[in-house]
Chain A
Amino acid sequence: ETGVTQTPRHLVMGMTNKKSLKCEQHLGHNAMYWYKQSAKKPLELMFVYNFKEQTENNSVPSRFSPECPNSSHLFLHLHTLQPEDSALYLCASSQDTSEGYEQYFGPGTRLTVT
């Protein structure tokens, strides 16, 4: 496979469930990102990893827990979510986190919290 892949593509979970989102990039990039996309709102950057180290955490609630075991894989662990967390979660990668590097996005995971 090429590019950035995300699994699952769709996820429905109750507020007491625990689930994980997976992202894999096949581009040899060093940086990976999690974004939250809600309808008619700007993309919200959640977490940034560069060379497996977390460099940004934009005040994301602790019910979202990222994990980056290597530069090619990124996970988002979810627990005790709220209905307002329902959104499209996008993973992206880039060669570096410096200004001007193109971000390559996966197709996203559509999350519904019931």
Chain B
Amino acid sequence: GENVEQHPSTLSVQEGDSAVIKCTYSDSASNYFPWYKQELGKGPQLIIDIRSNVGEKKDQRIAVTLNKTAKHFSLHITETQPEDSAVYFCAASGSNYQLIWGAGTKLIIKP
């Protein structure tokens, strides 16, 4: 069936360093790849997304890259700050446009 694998499950980085989270998807028909951030006590919130006709997209300190051939996409956060600490979820569009979600990455920013 359709699935999205996300790694690592936990990532600890020093404040100011970069963080990279990677996802692999199985459905070659997927065209839309969003990333959501979930802070403690809140629901997930969209932070950036990318479509299959684009290889890279940036928004200030965050960027997403997509390799459709390899069915990989990644989230890059530069100059990490304490407020970046959260759980991050990747997702890929599946059949009936439903999102197939990764299991999440807990990002810890060490002061």
Interface residues of B (CB under 8 A from A): 4, 9, 31-32, 34, 36, 41-46, 49, 51, 89, 93, 96-104
Contact = CB atoms under 8 A, between A and B. Distances in A.
Contact of B45 (A42, A45, A48, A105): A105
Contact of A43 (B31, B45, B46, B89): B89
Interface string A59-100: 000000000000000000000000000000010100001111
B93 A102 contact: no
Contacts, number: 53
A45 B46 contact: no
Interface of A: 4, 40-43, 45, 48, 55-56, 90, 92, 97-100, 102-108
Given A40-B104, A43-B101, A108 B43 contact: yes
A36 to B, nearest CB: 11
Contacts of B104: 40, 42
A53 B14 CA distance: 48
A40 B9 contact: yes
Q: Which DSSP category, helix, strand, loop or mixed, fits chain A's interface?
A: loop
A107 B43 CA distance: 4
Contacts of B98: 45, 48, 56
Given A100-B51, A105-B45, 11 more contacts: A41-B103, A43-B99, A45-B98, A45-B99, A90-B44, A99-B31, A103-B44, A104-B45, A105-B44, A107-B41, A107-B42
